[in-house]
Each structure stands twice: as C-alpha cells, then as structure tokens.
C-alpha cells in the first residue's frame, strides 16, 4: 500500500469516527444550542441515564421542587427526581453565557437556568413553582425596611454581584415606598414574577399597577427579609438563590437573575417557591 493510499484511508476513518461522535446526543447537546442541551437533560431524566445526566449538570447545580425541597448535584444523581412539565413547549431566552428555559402548564411553572462553560452548556438550576388556586395576601406591610432594603446578612464577592445586589435593594426600597418610577428603571421589560402565593405569573406592567394601587390606598408591600443566599456571576448576568422569610409565614426560595444593560443592572425574573 502506498503512503498516499494509507494517508487517505486514515483520513477517511478519522472523518467517519468524528461523524459518529458528533452524532451522539450528548456531544450535540454539549456543543450545540441550549435547546439541544435542555432536550438531552429531559431525555436523560426520562431514561434514568445517570452518565449522560452527570455530564449535563454544572458542579453548582441545584434542584428545587414545588414543595421547596432543595437538592444538590450529588443528591440528584443518587436519587433521580421526576421533572414537572417534561413534554411542554419550552421558552428560551439567552443572555450571553447564560440562558433561561421556562415551561408553563396551568398552575405548574418550571425554570431551568443554563450556563455556557468551556465544555458546553451545563444546567445550573432546576426549580418548580406550583401556584395556589386563590391568591394569598402576604399581610400588611411597612415602609420601614431594614433587611433587605438597607442591609443584608450576605456579602457579594464580585463587582457584578455587588452591583446586582445594589439594584435588588433599590427594587425592594421602591416596593416598600410604593415608588413605581424607581421600580420600573430597575426591572427588565421581559420581567416575570412567579410566586407560589399568587394564581398566575405577573409581568412588569402588572407589578407597576400593583404599586400604584397600594400608593393610592396608602398601603405598603413590605419585602421579606433575606435569611441566606448564594450568588453566581455569569458574566452579563448574575443569579441569586435566596432563602427569605416573612413574619408569621413559611419561608421560601426566591431565585432572581439580573442582566447588565447599558451599565444598569435590571432584574429579569423572580421565581418564588414556598418551603412547605
């Protein structure tokens, strides 16, 4: 066999092997779009495929079910949970190296946050919210808001995290003071608030209407106190998983994400799961 023929055969085998590898669902998910990665995640959970699932989960992955039970990556891989809304159409928004995937079916809402790592898209968060059949009042509020409006028991680490926290505290002060104008500046136009104690997700216009109604009646919406938090600096975005508590109410996990737009950090969503 000539060197030319040998070289051609080696090249052909290499191309053939590369085609097989690239056709593998996990490879396509890790190198392709976030939608492909999300589909691979759902498939791995449905097939109880721990190997594929492990490759798709970020080391900092968190799972929060509709009752507020939290699990880390190791716990999920030991005892595979069943996802809600697995066959529902997904809504995807990408923000640089982060992406938000959402599915909604009646009162059940699911959020999956992805982050683009050097090896591809990895799931950072899975969270469920099962909304109540009738909205519940959080109780009377007060404009006197120390935690979280002025101080919190958490120290952000990066400059982006510090800026996101400052933006969040601005939102909390705006809510406590019924200041719709200040609130609007710090909230993204695509913002949604999905809370266990409400019957449906609220948009930015919905929230502004709420604030204006409270202002007209002289009432206030006191933000819940922050108990603890974890933050993730994802470049153009920052995510916080917070544990919060209202007086005489059950605690809950509230995940928020901010995006930096023209030097202003704006909140993209608030996803609130009560801990039963």
Name the DSSP letter for residue 119: T
End-to-end CA distance of the chain: 73
Strands (E), the chain: 57-64, 70-72, 91-95, 98-105, 108-117, 120-130, 187-195, 202-203, 225-233, 237-245, 252-261, 264-274
Residue 84 and residue 273 in contact, taking contact as beta carbons nearer than 8 Å: no
Task: Tell me phi and psi for residue 118, to 5 degrees.
Answer: -55, -30
**Mean pLDDT across the chain, nearest whole number?**
90
At 1, the pLDDT band (50, 70, 90 cuts) reads low
Lowest-confidence region among 20-34, 61-75, 88-102, 179-193: 20-34
Domains of the chain listed by start with CATH number: 3-130 (3.10.450.50), 159-274 (3.10.450.50)
Lowest-confidence region among 100-104, 111-115, 155-159, 247-251: 247-251
Name the residue with tokens 């949970």.
81
């Amino acid at each position: 066999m000539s060197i030319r023929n040998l070289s051609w055969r080696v090249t052909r085998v290499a191309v053939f092997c590369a085609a097989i590898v690239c056709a593998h669902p996990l490879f396509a998910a890790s190198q392709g779009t976030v939608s492909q990665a999300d589909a691979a995640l759902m498939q791995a959970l449905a097939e109880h495929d721990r190997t594929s699932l492990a490759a798709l989960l970020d080391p900092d992955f968190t799972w929060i079910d509709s009752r507020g039970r939290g699990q880390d990556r190791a716990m999920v891989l030991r005892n595979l949970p069943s996802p809600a809304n697995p066959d529902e159409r997904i809504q995807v928004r990408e923000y640089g190296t982060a992406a938000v995937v959402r599915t909604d079916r009646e009162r059940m809402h699911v959020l999956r946050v992805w982050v683009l790592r050097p090896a591809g898209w990895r799931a950072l968060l899975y969270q469920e919210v099962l909304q109540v059949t009738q909205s519940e009042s959080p109780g009377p509020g007060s404009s006197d808001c120390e935690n979280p409006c002025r101080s919190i028991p958490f120290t952000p680490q990066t400059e982006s995290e510090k800026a996101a926290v400052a933006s969040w505290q601005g939102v909390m002060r705006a809510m406590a003071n019924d200041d719709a104008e200040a609130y609007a500046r710090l909230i993204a136009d695509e913002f949604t608030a999905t809370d266990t104690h409400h019957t449906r997700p609220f948009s930015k216009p919905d929230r502004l209407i709420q604030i204006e109604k409270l202002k007209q009646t002289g009432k206030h919406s006191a933000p819940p106190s922050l108990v603890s938090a974890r933050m993730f600096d994802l470049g153009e975005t920052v995510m916080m998983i917070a544990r919060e508590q209202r007086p005489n109410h059950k605690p809950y996990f509230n995940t928020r994400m901010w995006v930096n737009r023209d030097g202003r950090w704006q909140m993209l969503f608030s996803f609130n799961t009560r801990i039963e």
